[in-house]
């Protein structure tokens, strides 16, 4: 079956979750390959197997070259500790879920490697009825994602104005990406989880030091953590940090996958490329939150249950 037909079938099976990003009315598949809302706003499926829900042109920082490098770095296994931990956290949740189908949205999914791997890991560990949905504002990112994995609904769109109805997702992951907690709260099921990954202050510090030699202030994620805590009940958080050595042939992709080298001199880039291997700090924080409305007295039990479950992760 062609990619566009696989995507179309997935959208037909999940059309109950979609709402027009322009007017918020229901959407339907109109033959052959368009999603159309009650007010005739139309979004076409690409033959590559994704839908573009953007309402106009946007400035996108993550281009094809960066996202291809990010995919290579992901395949290299650099992000495996994140993928493994998130898989474990989601498995805990879906083992207790009463919903017949579990929907997992990756908001700011980039080139889709994390979401594809998480879904693959989960499916290999049990017979779950899962549907992965990835959304990113970068068409290049979603285009790469859809070329690698056909079982996921891939959407080009703004995570601050998503094409989804209220209360659709059991899990929202948000990995190294911007967030919009108002929108996340809207589209999350009442018993859903938000799993956010943020860089720690030493994340890729060797690159930052190499490119900026102390000219830039130290990175701090204090504000990001604070904002998450203001918007969700934090059930669980973990700081994962260690050092790793990157083989020479992958160094250029580590440099290209982040904005850290932007504006730096060729000389400093060449210095990195000439190394036989690159020592890098892996440093990130995983946060798991649930809706704050769960603090209502009748939901206290639910909150306590979750807290104790995740406490022992």
In the complex, the residues that contact Zn ion under the rule CB under 5 A are 20, 22-23, 37, 39, 41
DSSP-based three-state secondary structure for 37: strand
Site string for ligand SAM, 254-293 (x = CB under 6 A): ----------------------------------------
Dmax (CA) for the chain in angstroms is 62
Minimal distance in Å, beta carbon 298 to Zn ion? 36
Minimal distance in Å, beta carbon 34 to Zn ion? 13
End-to-end distance of the chain based on CA atoms, in angstroms? 41
The answer to whether residue 158 forms part of the interface with ligand SAM (CB under 6 A) is yes
Position closest to ligand SAM via CB: 110
Minimal distance in Å, beta carbon 39 to Zn ion? 4
Cβ proximity to ligand SAM: between 136 and 283 the closer is 136
The answer to whether residue 108 forms part of the interface with ligand SAM (CB under 6 A) is yes
Token pair of 241 as six digits = 């940090």
CA distance 286 to 266: 34
Q: Is the C-alpha dihedral spanning 195, 106, 88, 219 positive or negative?
A: negative
Cβ proximity to ligand SAM: between 62 and 164 the closer is 62
The answer to whether residue 62 forms part of the interface with ligand SAM (CB under 6 A) is yes
CA distance 121 to 115: 10
CA distance 149 to 10: 13
Task: Find the part of the chain contacting ligand SAM (CB under 6 A) among 94-102, 170-178, 227-235, 262-270.
Answer: 170-178
Find which of ligand SAM, Zn ion, none residue 137 binds, CB within 5 to 8 Å per kind. Answer: ligand SAM
Find which of ligand SAM, Zn ion, none residue 70 binds, CB within 5 to 8 Å per kind. Answer: ligand SAM
Q: Cα angle vertex 55, ends 49, 61, to 5°?
A: 75
Which whole-number Å values give the CA distances from 214 to 23, 111, 204, 254, 283, in the listed order? 48, 31, 14, 20, 19
Cα 138 from chain centroid (whole Å): 13
Minimal distance in Å, beta carbon 146 to ligand SAM? 14
What's the DSSP call for residue 18?
B
Cβ proximity to ligand SAM: between 20 and 72 the closer is 72
Find which of Zn ion, ligand SAM, none residue 210 binds, CB within 5 to 8 Å per kind. Answer: none
- Edge-to-edge strand ranges of the sheet holding 188-199: 50-52, 153-156, 130-136, 102-107, 169-175, 188-199, 277-291, 232-247
Find which of Zn ion, ligand SAM, none residue 37 binds, CB within 5 to 8 Å per kind. Answer: Zn ion
Q: Is the C-alpha dihedral spanning 136, 140, 146, 149 positive or negative?
A: negative
The answer to whether residue 134 forms part of the interface with ligand SAM (CB under 6 A) is no
Question: Footprint of ligand SAM on residues 172-211 (CB under 6 A)?
Answer: 175-178
Minimal distance in Å, beta carbon 87 to ligand SAM? 15
CA distance 272 to 210: 8
Phi and psi (nearest 5°) for 192? -80, 165
Cβ proximity to ligand SAM: between 94 and 159 the closer is 159
Find which of ligand SAM, Zn ion, none residue 159 binds, CB within 5 to 8 Å per kind. Answer: ligand SAM
- For binding to ligand SAM (CB under 6 A), which residues are involved? 60, 62, 70, 108-110, 114, 135-138, 141, 158-160, 175-178
């Amino acid at each position: 079956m062609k990619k566009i037909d696989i995507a179309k079938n997935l959208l037909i099976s999940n059309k109950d979750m979609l709402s027009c990003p322009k007017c918020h009315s229901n959407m339907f598949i109109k033959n052959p390959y368009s999603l159309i809302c009650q007010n005739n706003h139309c979004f076409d499926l690409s033959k590559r197997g994704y839908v573009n829900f953007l309402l106009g042109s946007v400035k996108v920082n993550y281009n094809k070259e960066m996202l291809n490098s990010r995919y290579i770095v992901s395949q290299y296994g650099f992000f495996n500790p994140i993928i493994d931990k998130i898989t474990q956290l989601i498995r805990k949740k879906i083992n207790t879920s009463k919903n017949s189908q579990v929907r997992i949205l990756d908001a700011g999914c980039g080139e889709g490697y994390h979401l594809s791997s998480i879904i693959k890991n989960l499916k290999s560990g049990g017979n779950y009825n899962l549907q992965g949905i990835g959304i990113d504002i970068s068409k290049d990112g979603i285009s790469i994602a859809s070329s690698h994995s056909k079982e996921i609904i891939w959407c080009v769109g703004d995570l601050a104005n998503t094409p989804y109805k209220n209360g659709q997702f059991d899990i929202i992951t948000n990995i190294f990406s911007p967030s919009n907690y108002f929108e996340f709260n809207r589209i999350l099921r009442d018993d859903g989880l938000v799993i956010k990954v943020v860089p720690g202050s030493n994340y890729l510090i060797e690159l930052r030091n190499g490119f900026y030699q102390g000219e830039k202030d130290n990175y701090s994620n204090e504000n990001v953590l604070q904002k998450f805590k203001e918007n969700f009940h934090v059930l669980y958080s973990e700081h994962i940090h260690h050092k790793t050595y990157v083989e020479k042939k992958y160094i250029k992709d580590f440099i290209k996958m982040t904005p850290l080298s932007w504006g730096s001199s060729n000389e400093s880039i060449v210095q990195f490329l000439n190394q036989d291997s690159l020592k890098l700090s892996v440093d990130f924080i995983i946060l798991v939150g649930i809706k704050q409305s769960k603090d209502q007295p009748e939901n206290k039990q639910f909150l306590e249950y979750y807290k104790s479950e995740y406490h022992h992760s």
